[in-house]
Structure 1
């Protein structure tokens, strides 16, 4: 995160501008180490909570996590459900839960330093089903939408997240591999791969001004007509959450803040009021809002055959093959040349190895060659 710099511009007949002096506001440089609570209480499944610490805007080091804490979900009037730290430090999960809609619950946290935190009690909400995830071709590409409704009229506030997955290939298909004793035929596929990406922007909508609790064609994301995600086959898994008015307000404010700084876990330019508090010191800032709701989801696929035939997709590669040995060059031992993995043999033509860089040949550099369990061709 770059330090903000302010410039004073002078106009003396001609426009002469320049930074007279960089200025770092005090709020940007003061040390901070506030607790960040990321997650929600899943009333119909596994609850996953991440605990982190804030960092200064100019600090580009790895986000610090809060490990070895004690967490549990507490029902008002009794009942506790523990969360256990996973192999990913700072991430805690519960067993699958079935919590009654309307029952008030909260999250309790005790850090390794024995500091206690808790979220406010909130009533567990039931999230309505997603009616449909749809898409339409427009002048700028493919626009995806979410559609939902609640016949009871009790939801009104909605949030969405999504996970994208797409198939791609490397620039060239390698038929050969290096081994310490020989160049042999390649048994493993490193040409076809899959990549994935989670949504980063905050997606919210409400139906307060509508007579019916219906969300129609909420725009989730736009895929440009040149997007490499659409080159072969694309999938999106949309997750929907029912929010309370207070939780909606928190996410709305968080969205405005992160539009300015670009990260959920840096110190924020304006103070957010969440619903997590330090039990021993009410003045201690804590970032996060822990809601309680079920989650509904729906998956959509888009195949290349469903898109205009004249669309040309970017590949992300700028690659060429070379030959070994090079023209008019002395012989080269291929076992030595390919040994460090910088280059990968592709095929042999007229007694010469055609090869390229690993970044161009091995698709695992950008994703995985293991087909996702959910993937449908």
Structure 2
């Protein structure tokens, strides 16, 4: 009996000791994470067939929840190897733009930046001509849809590619409303009523899409995967569109983006590769040891847009339940249910030839503006 009692005391002693020690643990914060470093970050490229947009900002600590600090008041310009310059104007905080310039006389060019008492410059870079996109295709299977890009360079001069995209999709409310509630009255919707059934949502690529043909005898990219959407994606419920931008890269620019991709996408487990040092082509002219993050390339851009409509997709795909339901209220209950805007009217409820009430639903099930904008894009 005494032995069992001693064992119980012994167990609780070690349990309390463990809890006490674990409560005294402090998170390990390496100096690299908490150091107040504010390295210059340069993003963008020199566009040889359209607007050039360069963004300047500063790095921040991992524990910093605020948005990156924009670098404002800089002087930014493009400089040709034999002379000639084009100055970019600051359009918003940290964003510098030029509507388009003729670099046909340049064999090489570079980006120059002046910040108060410091100057920076990229290496001189060769100008690449991006071949057109041959096609955008899609392929559906039982669980989702793949969007694929095809391109080639008949001169076999490109070899290294990068893609970005902006996408948009039509969003339809769960219920189409014949009625609206205005100034305490239920009335029929008309042509002056705002659109609340059909809206649009927008997105853009967030990961780095790269491709190369260096191991192929022909410079041809066949069905490079840009995006996979699951079969129950809200983007595919009505109509979907993707605008793809294609860039031709130099070998060095491709390697920079490849390291950036691996450092940002393939970390998190014991079996992932260790981060690689990210070395760009931008240097401080006054302090060669200063770290500057970014790589500036110079190339043209090729674009293509794709549309996909729901009737084109497999009929066997099951749509997830919406959670939206219709309720019925009497005429006298209208103020109680509709005054706060939590619910919206949908249709009249008729009994014995007269309106005795209305069907209503939660506002997000009726008004698509809770999830997007009712302003139709110009390309739709």
| TM-score where L is the length of structure 2 | 0.82
Q: Deviations over 1:174-233 (max 9, x none)?
A: 333343464443411111011121111111111111111111111111121222211111
Q: Deviations over 1:99-124 (max 9, x none)?
A: 2286211112223x443222211111
Q: Deviations over 1:340-364 (max 9, x none)?
A: 5444333343443444444333212
Q: Deviations over 1:297-333 (max 9, x none)?
A: 1111112121111212347x4333445569xxxx557
Aligned-partner Cα distance in 2 for 1:41–1:373: 27
Aligned-partner Cα distance in 2 for 1:71–1:184: 57
| Bigger proportion of residues as helix | 2
CA contact (8 A) 1:75 1:106 kept: yes
Aligned-partner Cα distance in 1 for 2:57–2:97: 15
Q: Deviations over 1:277-301 (max 9, x none)?
A: 2222222211111100001111111
| Residue matched to 1:129 | 132
Aligned-partner Cα distance in 2 for 1:365–1:115: 47
| Residue matched to 2:370 | 365
Aligned-partner Cα distance in 1 for 2:113–2:294: 13
| Residue matched to 2:243 | 237
| Residue matched to 1:34 | 39
Equivalence map 1:254-273=2 (5 Å): 254-259=260-265, 270-273=276-279
Aligned-partner Cα distance in 2 for 1:144–1:61: 34
Evaluate the alpha carbon distance shift between residue 305 and residue 110 of structure 1 in structure 2; reply closer, same or farther with a 3 A threshold.
same
5+ residue gaps, structure 1, are 1-15, 263-267
| Residue matched to 1:53 | 58
What is the CA distance between 1:260 and its match in structure 2? 5.3
5+ residue gaps, structure 2, are 1-17, 269-273, 350-354
Aligned-partner Cα distance in 2 for 1:291–1:306: 39
Evaluate the alpha carbon distance shift between residue 185 and residue 22 of structure 1 in structure 2; reply closer, same or farther with a 3 A threshold.
same
Aligned-partner Cα distance in 2 for 1:261–1:365: 35
What is the CA distance between 1:35 and its match in structure 2? 1.6
Aligned-partner Cα distance in 2 for 1:357–1:109: 53
Aligned-partner Cα distance in 2 for 1:102–1:82: 16
Root-mean-square deviation over aligned CA pairs: 2.8
What is the CA distance between 1:84 and its match in structure 2? 1.7
| Residue matched to 2:14 | none
Equivalence map 1:311-350=2 (5 Å): 311-314=317-320, 317-324=322-329, 334=335, 338=338, 341-349=341-349, 350=355
| Residue matched to 2:293 | 287
CA contact (8 A) 2:114 2:120 kept: yes
CA contact (8 A) 2:80 2:106 kept: no
CA contact (8 A) 1:175 1:346 kept: yes
| Residue matched to 1:83 | 88
Aligned-partner Cα distance in 2 for 1:259–1:207: 22
Report how many residues are paired. Answer: 347
Aligned-partner Cα distance in 1 for 2:199–2:375: 7
Structure whose alpha-carbon radius of gyration is higher? 2
CA contact (8 A) 2:262 2:275 kept: no
- The partner residue of 1:196 within 196, 202, 213 is 202
